[in-house]
């Protein structure tokens, strides 16, 4: 199983098991942060790929 999916499932599980409002809020915000970080990683990979294939830097 992919690490990203596993972490998201664990956060959902912990959120579902928790009875404390603060813990639930923490798990929900951690999940949002985790998803944002994966999105940023994807954007950075795309930028790197674009810079590597930029014709202006081939000379």
pLDDT at 31: 97
Record the pTM.
Answer: 0.76
Q: Tokens for 47?
A: 């930028």
Query: What is the per-residue pLDDT across 24-35, written as a single tens digit (0 to 9) for each?
Result: 999 999 999 999
Answer whether 34's CB lies under 8 Å from 14's CB. no
């Amino acid at each position: 199983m992919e690490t990203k999916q596993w972490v998201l499932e664990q956060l959902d599980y912990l959120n579902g098991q928790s009875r404390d409002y603060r813990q639930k809020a923490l798990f929900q915000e951690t999940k949002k942060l985790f998803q944002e970080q994966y999105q940023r990683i994807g954007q950075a990979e795309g930028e790197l790929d674009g810079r590597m294939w930029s014709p202006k830097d081939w000379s």
